Each structure stands twice: as C-alpha cells, then as structure tokens.
Amino acid sequence: MDTAEIGQIIREERKALGLHQDQLAAASGVGLRFIVELERGKVTAQIGKVIAVLAALGCEVQVLRPGDLRPEERGDGC
C-alpha cells in the first residue's frame, strides 16, 4: 500500500459518509488543506494526522510484522 492508495481510501470513505472535505477536516482536527493533500496522496503527510483522519472515518490502521499472517490468511474467521 502506498500514499496514493491511502488517499483514495480516505476519499471513498468520506464520500460514502456524505462528508465534504471541510467537514472531515473539522471532525478529525486537521486543516482543509491537509485533507486535500492527503486525498491526493501526499507522501510527506504527518502520521499522527493521518491516523486522526482515519479514526474520524471509522477506519483502523493495522501494522503487520514480517511473517505475520493477515486475518484472511489465518483461516480462523477473524
């Protein structure tokens, strides 16, 4: 996954929730310009702000270590 993919996910989730960019900015405590740049895939976006935006959308961030199995690979239904 890269910054462009993360930006696309954020844009799609925002639209699915019926939010405008300024509304998402207010809900996540960041500026409108940050949302615009984030949705465009800006590579230097601050991770704390990205996490705040994702949380405002109801998304979760998952970090897997090398060798960790993704949930769909475990076969345990989780």
For the segment 27-50, what is each residue's pLDDT rounded down to a tens digit?
A: 999 999 999 999 999 999 899 999
DSSP state of 40: T
For the segment 13-30, what is each residue's pLDDT rounded down to a tens digit?
A: 999 999 999 999 999 999
Strand (E) or helix (H) holding 5: helix 3-16
Contact by Cβ (8 Å): 7, 40? yes
pTM: 0.81
Phi, psi of 17 (to 5 degrees): -85, -5
The position carrying tokens 């993704």 is 70
Neighbours of 76 (CB within 10 A): 7
